[in-house]
Amino acid sequence: MNQNTVALSLFSGGLDSILASRVVAAQGIQVIAIKFISPFFDHGALADPQASIDRARELYGLDVRIEDITTPYLELLKKPVYGFGKNFNPCVDCKISMFKRAGEMMEEYGASFLISGEVLGQRPMSQRRDTLNVISRDSDKRDILLRPLSAKLMTPIAAERNGLVDREKLYDFSGRGRSRQIALAREFGITEFPAPAGGCRLADPILSKRIAALYSGDFVLSPDDVGSVDIHCLMVGRQFVLPGGGWLVIGRDQRDNEELMRHRQEDDVLLCMVDHPGPTALLRRTSVVYDDDAKLTADLELAGRLVVRYAKKVEGRHEPQDVQIYRGGGMEARRFDSIEEEFSQWIV
């Protein structure tokens, strides 16, 4: 066995990807775990990349690198070749794109093959045998993509045939059960790992509807105008499309408020309470959305009133409150009454 062999592992952080990486590393092969991130999965790793890297090393003994694939992923969502799953999740195209990107990284790391934690038959859309074959074929990685947990149920790849990997030390896992994975984790001394529910927000039935609307052209932005910040804002708080065409996001809690403040861009209008507990709000992308200052002014009035509407009540009532409005480089404070008329038709 070549002790200098390097393999790149697609590392989601789930148990299967942890085990697949460890199974190969146990054969004396250097495994570099690539953690792909986008606004839809694992994006929190960007807040403190080193903490994510250190945690993976401490818990799993793995060398992790973080790779942001947001830009190509947003493009992929416009028209995935193999369509979507139950929600807005393009699982097959997602896998293909990741394997293609990992293949491009192989030369940089001197890697001989790729590793995936996929288990035959575990997921109904992306891990059927025919689908696994399609993923290998369309990513052009058929002979360099090793799935260690199900390898004995599949045709050997080059690394197995030439002796870089001992096939007898790989596995024949299949189906949706997790008992064998959990038993193997115990053998490796792994006791802490995520639940198997999956972490892709595109599979969330509520959030996926918001993203689908954005890409369908039925939203205030066209698909070509969508950026990563738009996605982040769409996945927090309460969402409104105001009568003038504006996109308003209102925080539900302190975490949402902090997210909205962090993601504010130059042409956003930020609204927040001055001396009273209440939400932060963003009127998004005003230079793109509005072609009429009168509409912007009218929507800004409604935005201020909605902020007061969702603020803490005073003796059971929504009292007028001062709201700070940050627009461009300036700030003004205005007093708004709560909105009392029906506004449910504005809710996204």
- In tens, the pLDDT along 213-272 reads 888 888 888 888 888 899 989 989 999 999 999 999 999 999 999 999 999 999 999 999
Beta-bridge partners for 332: 325
Cβ-Cβ contacts under 8 Å for 126 (sequence gap 6 or more): 85, 91, 92, 94, 95, 118, 132, 135
Name residues of the chain where pLDDT drops below 50: 1
Architecture in CATH of 6-199: 3-Layer(aba) Sandwich (3.40)
| Residue 1: predicted pLDDT | 47
Quick: pLDDT tens for 265-274: 999 999 998 8
Nearest partner of 210 among 188, 193, 191, 226, judged by Cα: 226
Residue ranges per structural domain of the chain: 6-199, 205-346
Query: Hey, what are 134's tokens?
Result: 């399609």
From CA 286, how far away is CA 138, in angstroms rounded? 41
| Residue 124: predicted pLDDT | 64
From CA 242, how far away is CA 258, in angstroms rounded? 23
Cβ-Cβ contacts under 8 Å for 42 (sequence gap 6 or more): 12, 13, 35, 36, 199
| Residue 197: predicted pLDDT | 55
Phi, psi at 113, each rounded to 5°: -160, 170
From CA 132, how far away is CA 113, in angstroms rounded? 17
| SS3 category, 113 | strand
Half-sphere exposure of 77 (CA within 13 A, CB side): 27
